[in-house]
Structure 1
Amino acid sequence: KRQRVNVLVSAVIWWCFLSDAVPNIALLGSGGGQRAMVGLLGSLVQLDKAGLLDCILYLSGVSGSTWCMASLYKEPDWSTKLETVKNKIIRRLSGPGVRWTDALAKLKNYYYEKDIFSLTDVWAVMLVTSYVKEFLREIIVWEIFLFCFTLQTTTNLVPSSDILNIHAAVMLIILIVMNKNKMKKQDEIDMLYLQGNNICCRTALECIIICNTNLQCILYTMHPHSPPIDECYQVLLKLVDMNLDLLKGTDPSACDQFIRTTLTDLSGGQRPLIRQLEKLNDDKTAGKKAAKQYVMQYTVDVCDYFSLELNICRCMSQWIWGRHYNFLHNMTDDAVPAALLESETRDYIDAGLLLNSPYFSVLREERDIDLIISLDFSDGDPFMTVTQTAETCKKLKIPFPEVNIPSEDVEKPKDFYVFKGQNAPTVIHIPLFNVVNCGDKIYAWRKKYGTSRVPYSAEMIAELMQVSGKNFTINGAKLLEQICVVAVAKYFQAQARQI
Structure 2
Amino acid sequence: MYWLWGSVGSLDAHLTKPGWSSDVYFATGLQKEEKAAVNKRSSKVLEALQKLNIQADQAPVIAVLGSGGGLRAHIACLGVLSEMKELGLLDAVTYLAGVSGSTWALSSFYNNNGNMEGMEEELKQRYEENRWHFGENLEKAIQASKKKNYSLTDFWAYLVVSRQTRELQNSNLSSIKKHVEEGLLPYPIFAAIDGDLQPDWRTRKTRKSWFEFTPHHAGYPAIGAYVPITQFGSRFKNGKLVRSEPEGDLNYLRGLWGSAIADREEIKKFICGEYLRVTQGPEPRDILSAPRSAAGAAAYMGAPETQVDEVLLDLMMAFLKDQNDPSIKDKLQALQQVLGAERDVFGEQKYFWLIEAVQNWNEISPKEKEQFLEYLLYCFMRTKALPLGPRSRATNWIGSNITDEAMQSREFLHLVDAGLAINTPYPLVLPPAREAHLILSFDFSAGDPLETVRTTADYCQRYGIPFPQVREDQLKEWAKAPESCYILRGETGPVVMHFTLFNKNNCGDDIDTWRKKYETMKPSCFYTPELVADLLRVSRENVRINKDNILSEMRKVAGKTGNLPRMNKEDFLGYSVQNVQSSRTVEIKISNNTDIIFKEPLHYLRSGHLLVDPPPVLSPKSTISCSFVKKSSSFQGTVGMLIYQGPSVHLALLFSIPFNYALHRIKFALAIITEPVSRDLESVFDDIIQGNGSPEQKVAKYELQLPQGTLKLEHDSFIIRATMSNIHVAKMDVVVETKAV
Report the TM-score when normalising by structure 1.
0.68
Match of 2:329 in 1: 270
Candidates 476, 483, 490, aligned match of 1:421: 490
- Superposition map of 1:479-494 within 5 A: 479-493=550-564
Candidates 104, 112, 119, aligned match of 2:138: 104
Amino acid at match of 1:478: N
- Is residue 2:112 matched to residue 1:75? yes
- Is residue 2:78 matched to residue 1:41? yes
Matched residue of 1:367: which SS? coil
| Contact 2:45–2:94, Cα closer than 8 Å, also in 1 | no
Amino acid at match of 1:152: D
Higher strand proportion, which one? Answer: 2
Match of 2:194 in 1: 150
- Is residue 2:67 matched to residue 1:30? yes
Call closer, same or farther: CA 1:469–1:297 in 2, change over 3 Å: closer
Structure-2 separation of matches of 1:100 and 1:472 = 36
Count the aligned residue pairs.
Answer: 400
CA deviations 1:259-303 (Å, max 9, x no partner) are: 9xx99x9895423244988xxxxxxxxxxxxxxx99647779989
Whichever of the two has the greater Rg, that structure is 2
Structure-2 separation of matches of 1:232 and 1:329 = 50
Matched residue of 1:482: which SS? helix
- Is residue 2:402 matched to residue 1:365? no
Q: Kindly state the Cα deviation for residue 342 of structure 1 after the two structures are TM-superposed.
A: 0.7
- Superposition map of 1:49-448 within 5 A: 49-76=86-113, 78=114, 81-112=115-146, 114-136=147-169, 146-152=190-196, 217-225=272-280, 230-231=287-288, 268=323, 269-271=328-330, 272-274=332-334, 296=341, 308-311=380-383, 315=387, 320=388, 330-335=397-402, 337-404=404-471, 405-448=474-517
Q: Kindly state the Cα deviation for residue 442 of structure 1 after the two structures are TM-superposed.
A: 0.8
Higher helix proportion, which one? Answer: 1
- Is residue 2:546 matched to residue 1:475? yes
Query: Where do 5+ consecutive residues of structure 1 fail to align?
Result: 162-166, 176-210, 241-258, 278-292
Q: Kindly state the Cα deviation for residue 54 of structure 1 after the two structures are TM-superposed.
A: 0.6
Q: Kindly state the Cα deviation for residue 25 of structure 1 after the two structures are TM-superposed.
A: 0.6
Structure-2 separation of matches of 1:38 and 1:275 = 42
CA deviations 1:291-328 (Å, max 9, x no partner) are: xx99647779989x99853346751xxxx27x789999
Structure-2 separation of matches of 1:48 and 1:266 = 45
| Contact 2:394–2:410, Cα closer than 8 Å, also in 1 | no
Call closer, same or farther: CA 1:157–1:399 in 2, change over 3 Å: closer
Matched residue of 1:422: which SS? coil
Amino acid at match of 1:477: D
Amino acid at match of 1:122: F
Matched residue of 2:546: which SS? helix
| Contact 1:126–1:222, Cα closer than 8 Å, also in 2 | no
Amino acid at match of 1:7: E
Call closer, same or farther: CA 1:82–1:295 in 2, change over 3 Å: closer
| Contact 1:370–1:426, Cα closer than 8 Å, also in 2 | yes
Call closer, same or farther: CA 1:94–1:396 in 2, change over 3 Å: farther
Match of 1:203 in 2: none
Structure-1 separation of matches of 2:127 and 2:403 = 43
Q: Kindly state the Cα deviation for residue 496 of structure 1 after the two structures are TM-superposed.
A: 3.2
CA deviations 1:181-237 (Å, max 9, x no partner) are: xxxxxxxxxxxxxxxxxxxxxxxxxxxxxx9xx798445445344997734969xx9
Structure-1 separation of matches of 2:404 and 2:173 = 26
| Contact 2:468–2:489, Cα closer than 8 Å, also in 1 | yes
Amino acid at match of 2:511: I
Q: Kindly state the Cα deviation for residue 334 of structure 1 after the two structures are TM-superposed.
A: 2.1
Q: Percent identity?
A: 28
Matched residue of 1:47: which SS? helix
Report the TM-score when normalising by structure 2.
0.47
Structure-1 separation of matches of 2:408 and 2:170 = 28
Query: Where do 5+ consecutive residues of structure 2 fail to align?
Result: 1-40, 177-188, 204-259, 292-299, 304-311, 355-375, 565-618, 624-734, 737-741
